[in-house]
Structure formats: C-alpha cells, structure tokens
C-alpha cells in the first residue's frame, strides 16, 4: 500500500490507497477496554479527504471521542428501549415510550444511520405526525423520547452530538377540553354532596389535586383524621401484560398462539428491580407514586375531613385496605372511574372535562388564593428544585392554611 502526506498519529493521517485510488482520512481515538481504535473515512479527492480529516479533528477535540460504527435508528431505538430505558422507567411509562417509538420514530426515521441523522430528518418526523392528523403534543412527545435516546447515544460515543437539540421541539397543543373553574367545581361538589359513593371521590380530587391512581390507591392507614392529613404512598394502575412464552415475537407468531399478551399462559408484567409494585386483581396493580415527590402528606381541609370521616363511618375496606373499591372488594378500574367522572359532570350540567383536569383546577385555585410556589408544588406532588429528594411532608402551618382556604373557597361558592 502506497501512502503519501502522512501525519502524526495525534493529528491523524491522510493517504491514498493504491487499490482504488481513494484518499483516506484516518485519526486515532482514545483506547477503549485496552483496545486501540481509529476512525477512518474515504473521499475520491485529496482535498475532500483533507476536509473530512479536519472535521474529525475538530469534533474529536470537542467531544473527546468519535463513533467508529453506527447502527440504524431502528436498531438503536430497540436496543436503547430494552437495555437503557426499561430499567429506569415505570411499566406504564415504558409502554408509552414503546408506542411512540413504534408508531412515529421507527416508521419515519428507522432506516437512517444514527450518526447521519440531521435536524431535517427530525422535522420529517414532526411533519409525519401532522400529516396523520395528530396534534403537536404527539410530535412533542416523540421528539422528547428521541432526544433522550440520542443523549444516551452521545454518552456511549455512538453519535458525535444530539441533533434533536439543534432544532426547536414542537409546542404543546392547546386542548379544547379545559379544567373546571372554581364555580364549576362548586357546582359539581354540590351535585354529588348527597351521593355517598361519589362525594368522597370528587371532593378528594378537587381538594387535594391527587392523580387518579393516587386517589384510588388510598388505604385506611394512610388517613390520619386527628392530624388532618392523608398520605399519598400508593396508586392503583392497570399495567400492560407481556408475553412470557418468548422474548420477542417469532415470524410465525407467538408460541402460545395468542396475539394478545393478556391471554398468554406465561404472561407477566415486567417491574424494574428498584420499583415496588404488587398485583391486586387481574391487570390492576398497587405501585408507588410517579416520583419521590409524589410520595407526600397532604393536609385535609375541614370540608374534606368531614366527607372522608362520613365515608369511613359506613364503608368497609377492600383489598389491601383500600377505602375505595368495587362491591367485591377489588380495586376500582381507572377506566370505570373516568366514566363515573364523565357521568357526574353530565348530571351536574357541566361541560366535558378530563378527570386529570381536576389537578389543574386545584393548582389554579391555590395560585389564585396566593399560596406560595413551594407549598403548591409540595401539595400537588410535583418535583422542583425547591423540593428535595426523598419523602415530601407538607403537614406544616403553610400547608394546612392553604388547604383550609381552598376548602373555604369551594364551600362558599360565591365567586370571591
């Protein structure tokens, strides 16, 4: 092999191959696991190879390393999802990621080489979501998932940079379904006040801002009527079954011959080792809250404490000591709970609003009442710089005062 214009190993080398006349740009990379590594690219002209070498040198100086080979986006997303994302995601979040990857990222970007991905390619994914008639919120979520995967690819030296950070992410769509106003919340509470089954549900939803699963997961030992607090430490969730008859679907179909994983005799739910969860009934599980900030104590307004006390006086406890349950003691399915919320709104003559919007109603009212940000974040179970890692306790004078004022505001219902 004849070589010309050779450079030292630190700055790289440039030479022409005698076999085909192509010019080769080669640069030495940091050793990995004791093995020597180098990056090699070719060009048909010396000038072109020289530019490539200069680009590699600059990128090596910037990033400290360069990828030596690159998988396709589809290959990397599958590897990332199973080996990097799965251990750190809760089962429902993992299922969400998997859905976005299989529906939007792989169909639009899957065949492209990971190291040749450009901002223009990512915009193509945004456009594909729009052409399918989905909202910009869907495009935003796909963008964020891809960006996380590319961040890990950059950390592992598979790409030189995360190109998803080089363009603006789509904006969240404005939803036509809005949260209840204070007056509408009052109307709902008055409508269900005499309904022994629904009054405690929707009073808790509007006076604590709990997530649906957190409310359905309240156990008797989480309620301290003397102290006036309810501890959020569990949530009821429906988790997705996975096939246990094979690790991935063979070309001829699953060995159990069922398409749906829920019918597989060896079905299972994969729970990360650092997450606590236990099956309660069917596909319903008791899991820990969404985040450590979600594990918290929420002061009860006097109005709420009275409603819960009356409920406990007549109610029996269900599975796991749940205060809310079906007639047979099993947990309430979140889908049935959402249907009950929609029916309650309809009976009260209120506009359609998603159940999750009750949290927004609570947060908005706390803001309007002048409750400080730190207290609002702690009550709602949101993570922020002001909330330290670990269990969040807000059974303080500020928290009690905030929830008492919220209860008074909804009980008064005078718009003031």
Residues 193 and 328 in one domain: yes
Do 218 and 297 touch, CB atoms closer than 8 A? no
Q: How confident is the model at residue 386 (pLDDT cuts 50, 70, 90)?
A: very low
SS (HEC) of 47-79: HHHHHHHHHHHHHHHHHCCCCCCCCEHHHHHHH
Percent of the chain with pLDDT over 90: 38
Contacts of 329 (CB under 8 A, 6+ apart): 316, 318, 319
- For 196, the 3-state DSSP assignment is coil
Q: With 0-12 CB in 10 A as exposed, 13-18 as middle and 19+ as buried, what is 166?
A: exposed
Instruction: Please state whether 65 falls in left (phi above 0), alpha (psi between -120 and 50) or beta.
Output: beta
Residue 5 lies in a domain: no
Residue in 89, 85, 87, 65 with CA at minimum distance from that of residue 149:
85
Q: Which of 166, 193, 214 delimits the end of a domain?
A: 166
In the block, tokens 């969860």 appear at 277
DSSP for 392-412?
Answer: EE--SHHHHHHHHHHHHHHHH
pLDDT tens-digit profile of 105-141?
Answer: 999 999 999 988 999 999 999 999 999 999 899 999 9
3-class secondary structure, 181: coil
pLDDT bracket for residue 182 (50, 70, 90): confident
Give the range of the structural domain holding residue 400, as residue numbers without chain letter: 182-234+289-412
For position 191, which CATH number holds? 1.10.443.10
Map tokens 């050779």 to a residue.
6
| 230 and 253 fall within a common domain | no
Claim to verify: residue 208 and residue 323 sit in the same structural domain: yes
pLDDT at 395 over 50: no
Residue 57 above 80 pLDDT?
yes
Q: How many domains does the chain have?
A: 4
Both 80 and 129 in one domain: the answer is yes
Q: What pLDDT, in 10s, does the model give residues 258-299? A: 988 888 999 988 887 778 888 999 889 999 886 665 678 888
């Amino acid at each position: 092999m004849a070589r010309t214009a050779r450079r030292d190993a630190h700055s790289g080398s440039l030479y022409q191959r005698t076999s085909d006349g192509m010019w080769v740009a080669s640069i030495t990379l940091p050793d990995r696991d004791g093995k020597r590594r180098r990056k090699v690219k070719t060009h048909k002209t010396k000038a072109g190879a020289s530019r490539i070498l200069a680009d590699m040198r600059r990128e090596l100086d910037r990033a400290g390393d360069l990828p030596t080979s690159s998988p396709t986006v589809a290959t990397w997303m599958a590897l990332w999802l199973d080996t990097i994302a799965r251990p750190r995601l809760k089962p429902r979040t993992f299922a969400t990621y998997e859905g976005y990857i299989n529906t939007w990222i792989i169909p639009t970007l899957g065949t492209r080489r990971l190291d040749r991905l450009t901002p223009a390619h990512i915009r193509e994914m945004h456009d594909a979501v729009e052409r399918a008639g989905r909202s910009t919120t869907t495009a935003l979520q796909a963008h964020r998932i891809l960006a996380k995967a590319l961040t890990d690819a950059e950390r592992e030296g598979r790409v030189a940079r995360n190109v998803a950070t080089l363009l603006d992410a789509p904006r969240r769509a404005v939803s036509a379904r809005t949260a209840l106003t204070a007056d509408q919340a009052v109307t709902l509470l008055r409508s269900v006040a005499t309904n022994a089954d629904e009054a405690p549900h929707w009073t808790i939803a509007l006076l604590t801002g709990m997530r649906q699963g957190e409310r359905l997961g309240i156990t008797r030992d989480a309620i301290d009527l003397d102290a006036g607090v309810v501890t959020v430490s569990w949530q009821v969730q429906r988790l997705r079954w996975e096939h246990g008859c094979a690790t991935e679907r063979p070309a001829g179909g699953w060995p159990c011959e069922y398409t749906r994983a829920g019918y597989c005799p060896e079905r299972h739910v994969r729970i990360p080792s650092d997450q606590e969860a236990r099956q309660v009934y069917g596909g319903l599980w008791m899991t820990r809250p969404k985040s450590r900030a979600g594990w918290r104590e929420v002061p009860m307004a006097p109005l709420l404490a009275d409603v819960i006390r009356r409920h406990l006086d007549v109610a029996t406890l269900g599975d796991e000591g749940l205060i809310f349950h079906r007639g047979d003691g099993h947990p309430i399915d979140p889908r049935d709970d959402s249907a009950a919320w929609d029916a309650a709104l309809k009976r009260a003559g209120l506009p359609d609003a998603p159940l999750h919007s009750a949290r927004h109603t609570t947060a908005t009212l706390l803001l309007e009442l002048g409750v400080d940000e730190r207290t609002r974040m702690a009550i709602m179970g949101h993570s922020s710089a002001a909330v330290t890692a670990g269990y969040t306790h807000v059974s303080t004078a500020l928290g009690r005062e905030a929830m008492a004022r919220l209860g008074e505001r909804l009980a008064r219902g005078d718009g003031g």
